[in-house]
Structure 1
Amino acid sequence: MAKTMFTPAGPIQLHRQDLPPDLSFGSVVAVDTETMGLDPRRDRLCLVQLSSGNGTAHLVQIIPGGGPSPNLVRLMEDPGVVKLFHFARFDVAALFQGIGATVAPVRCTKIASKLVRTYTDRHGLKDLCRDLLGVEISKQQQTSDWGAPELTPEQCAYAASDVLHLHALWARLEALLVREGRLALAEDCYRFLPARGKLDLMGYEEPDIFSH
């Protein structure tokens, strides 16, 4: 049964290990992950955050030895549901390593920003929310212990904020991709992301197999 809490970020439902089988996120779901560190080969998946863009976030706490997450895997692999990330390269690798999901189809706001906002080097989620939406989000809990058995309200609010704005960001960035004639190029990048994540898990971040 989900634990519901109300935070400044909005209503949050916290689930353990898996999503309820009857929960729908529509045709586009915003997704983020929290892990024990920045190496998905070493650092385990601790939390998966999701939102349909309706102001509510669902957090799935992945428990070591807690068993499979079939409903979450099914959603991540559903070809009829777009998974919207910021820096999808890391998240798709973490989800494959953590729950065995090959995530597709994928969109990534960081790739979109780098393709069209070439006038700046500020492509972090906090930067995009401020520059494109006029929203300030806090990154104070980013390096906290996401493997703790019980997450604090502050951790949950931070985790939720990482998905609650992605739909609005994507709408702005998709319009810029269309305006600059780079949407098709972005789509090609997104199709490659599941393979890019698997290459990272195999250690092919360095050497990059695409380099000379």
Structure 2
Amino acid sequence: MSNPIQYLTTAAEVQHAADILRTAPRIAIDLEFDDMRHRYGRNLALIQIFDGQTPYLIDPLPLTNPAHDLEPLFAILRDPAVEKVFHSCKSDILLLDEVYGVHVRHITDTSVQYTLLAEADNNISLGRLIQAELGIEVDKGEQKSNWLKRPLTEAQMQYAANDVLYLFELADRLRDKLAALGRTHWAEEENAALEDVRYSRDERPYLRMAGKYRILPQELPLFRDLYLLRDQVARQLDRPPYMVFANERLPELVRDLPRNLNAWKAARGLHPELKRPPYLDQLAALSAEDFVPTPSRLCLPSSVAFLSAGG
């Protein structure tokens, strides 16, 4: 039976926990973060750690300077002497790299272990894996919670703790199964490769939008610049881009571009901020005739130089 959950909200508490955790041979870890659902960008909302005795929930939101205040913990994540047990860790380690420049060392990923057993689903959730391997059913009802909202509920805190409480037992059980199959070295190689995973910025994120298949090739530059303007407004408002206007509206606006200020004011589904200066004027400056069919170029047309000039 583990100790009660420790909910940490100050730099001093983080430092005290790190002093304890750095002596552990291994820690189980998970992150809760918001990825363009409630705020702009990828925002760390919670760090869960279990050392075999105590589950820690480390809340970065109340910290005065999270990058500085979390450094004692980040030092442990970088330390190859301490094993870090995750489940499906790529999103977590990419966020740590992108936001904090932290490169995690000595990783064991239970998802990797399970995949190498080649028993069934290659993308099994933690809840299903706990049930399949340990016979324990955990409540996953808080999975889609708003993890940036405070205070956290008791249900959220228990959900978050459950994400790390069973990882040691899972990792040990799966390690034994892999050893019986002679696949231990496979897992070691795959887990070691995770240390080299790095975040890389997508210079043309608009090409990942499904809506690009609903436009003509010559309309892609306009599609791109509407995407970039939406992103600019979303960043200013600290809201996800879909709250500025929905993804499906992007190709619709390109195919039937409003031609003047009044048409933009009447356009449906746009955030009110877009219908006020300076953004309204910037939208009105867009003209499909000003774009030439060069979808691969990254420079902005002269008619939308406001984007590079900062509006």
User: TM-score range, shorter-chain basis?
Assistant: 0.7 to 0.9
- Check conservation: 2:10, 2:63, Cα contact below 8 A: no
1:146 alignment partner AA: W
Pair 1:34-2:32 in alignment: yes
Provide the C-alpha distance between the structure 1 equivalents of 2:35 and 2:128, rounded to a whole number of angstroms.
22
Q: Look at both structures and tell me which one has the larger radius of gyration over its CA atoms.
A: 2
Written as runs of structure 1 = structure 2, the 5 A alignment for 1:84-123 is 84-116=85-117, 118-121=118-121, 123=124
Q: Structure 1 residue 128: deviation in Å?
A: 1.2
Structure 2 vs 1, CA of residues 62 and 138 (structure 1 numbering), >3 Å: closer, same or farther?
Answer: same
Provide the C-alpha distance between the structure 1 equivalents of 2:5 and 2:80, rounded to a whole number of angstroms.
26
- Check conservation: 2:83, 2:108, Cα contact below 8 A: yes
Structure 2 vs 1, CA of residues 59 and 78 (structure 1 numbering), >3 Å: closer, same or farther?
Answer: same
- Check conservation: 1:33, 1:47, Cα contact below 8 A: yes
Give per-residue Cα distances to partners, 1:89-127, cap 9 Å, x unaligned. Answer: 1111122233332111101000100100x2311621111
Secondary structure of the structure 1 residue equivalent to 2:98: helix
> What's the TM-score once normalised by structure 2's chain length?
0.57
1:149 alignment partner AA: R
Written as runs of structure 1 = structure 2, the 5 A alignment for 1:33-72 is 33-37=31-35, 42-54=41-53, 56-63=54-61, 66-67=64-65, 68=68, 69-72=70-73
Q: Kindly indicate which of the two structures has a greater share of residues assigned to strand.
A: 1
- Check conservation: 1:33, 1:94, Cα contact below 8 A: no
Provide the C-alpha distance between the structure 2 equivalents of 1:15 and 1:65, rounded to a whole number of angstroms.
10
- Check conservation: 1:13, 1:58, Cα contact below 8 A: yes
User: Number of residue pairs matched?
Assistant: 194
Residue of structure 1 in register with 2:243 after alignment: none
Residue of structure 1 in register with 2:232 after alignment: none
| Gapped regions of structure 1 (runs ≥ 5) | 1-7, 207-212
Residue of structure 2 in register with 1:5 after alignment: none
- Check conservation: 2:10, 2:62, Cα contact below 8 A: no
Residue of structure 2 in register with 1:189 after alignment: 190
Give per-residue Cα distances to partners, 1:126-165, cap 9 Å, x unaligned. Answer: 1111111111111110111111232111111100000000
2:20 alignment partner AA: L
Give per-residue Cα distances to partners, 1:45-94, cap 9 Å, x unaligned. Answer: 1111000122x210111127731211111111111100000001111112
- Check conservation: 2:2, 2:52, Cα contact below 8 A: no
Provide the C-alpha distance between the structure 2 equivalents of 1:161 and 1:10, rounded to a whole number of angstroms.
13
RMSD of Structure 2 on Structure 1 (CA): 2.6
Pair 1:20-2:15 in alignment: yes
Written as runs of structure 1 = structure 2, the 5 A alignment for 1:70-89 is 70-89=71-90
Structure 2 vs 1, CA of residues 27 and 103 (structure 1 numbering), >3 Å: closer, same or farther?
Answer: same
Runs of 4+ in 1 over 3 A off after TM superposition: 201-204
Provide the C-alpha distance between the structure 2 equivalents of 1:38 and 1:87, rounded to a whole number of angstroms.
20
- Check conservation: 1:9, 1:157, Cα contact below 8 A: no
Secondary structure of the structure 2 residue equivalent to 1:20: helix
Provide the C-alpha distance between the structure 2 equivalents of 1:16 and 1:93, rounded to a whole number of angstroms.
24
Secondary structure of the structure 2 residue equivalent to 1:63: coil
1:49 alignment partner AA: Q
Higher relative contact order (CA 8 A, sep 6+): 1
Q: Kindly indicate which of the two structures has a greater share of residues assigned to helix.
A: 2
Residue of structure 1 in register with 2:261 after alignment: none
Structure 2 vs 1, CA of residues 97 and 125 (structure 1 numbering), >3 Å: closer, same or farther?
Answer: same
> What's the TM-score once normalised by structure 1's chain length?
0.82
Secondary structure of the structure 2 residue equivalent to 1:202: coil
